[in-house]
Amino acid sequence: MRIIYKKYILNFKRPSGTSRGVMTEKETWFLLLEENGKIGIGECGLLRGLSIDDRTDYEEKLQWVCENTHLGKDKLWEALLEFPSIQFGIEMAFLSLKSENPFVLFPSDFTKNKNSITINGLVWMGDEAFMKTQIENKIAQGFNCIKLKIGALDFDKEIDLLRYIRTNFDEKTIEIRVDANGAFDENEASYKINQ
């Protein structure tokens, strides 16, 4: 059994705002696990500036994983407590290796294209008008759960966007979620959650 890793850059179709700035690309790493001619693939989905394991020794840790495949999944996983995105990649790669199809880890009616799954309509950060347009588009597309990236605008404007949704749609029609990606410190987070 052996593992190699490969870096891959995902380019965003449009710049996307987060609480830590605007993203135009996302660096990701794939672990390729090979045993007896069979391949397993796992993604280490690091988000620069946002992930707890965004560290200068990240690639060094990936190389360590490749050199220590002999430890097995459980011991590798335990040794990577400070690198949750690599843990996820390890878990995925081993599941992929055991799967009939390396890209289908949990077969279901969804993976067989026989059923859909409900997801939220994601509203990226931007100015208030841009976010409002996204909200309207997501609702028009049939989403009944809207998730807003928050933490970059003035908080009162973000509350106004939430109020806009709730004024027009009750909680039975539209579920609202927010994602601040660590934009608020401990003291202000409690206050803002209550708002």
pLDDT at residue 61 in the model: 97
Cβ(185)–Cβ(193) under 8 Å?
Answer: no
**Rounded to an integer, what distance in angstroms lies between the CA atom of residue 25 and that of residue 43?**
16
Give me the residues paired with residue 44 across strands.
29
Q: Which residues of the chain have pLDDT under 50?
A: none
pLDDT for 152: 75
Any long-range contacts for 178-181 (C-beta under 8 Å, 24+ apart)? 178/147, 178/148, 178/149, 178/150, 179/147, 179/148, 179/149, 179/150, 180/19, 180/149, 180/150, 180/151, 181/18, 181/19, 181/20, 181/50, 181/149, 181/151
**Which class for 81: exposed (0-12), middle (13-18), buried (19 or more C-beta within 10 A)?**
exposed
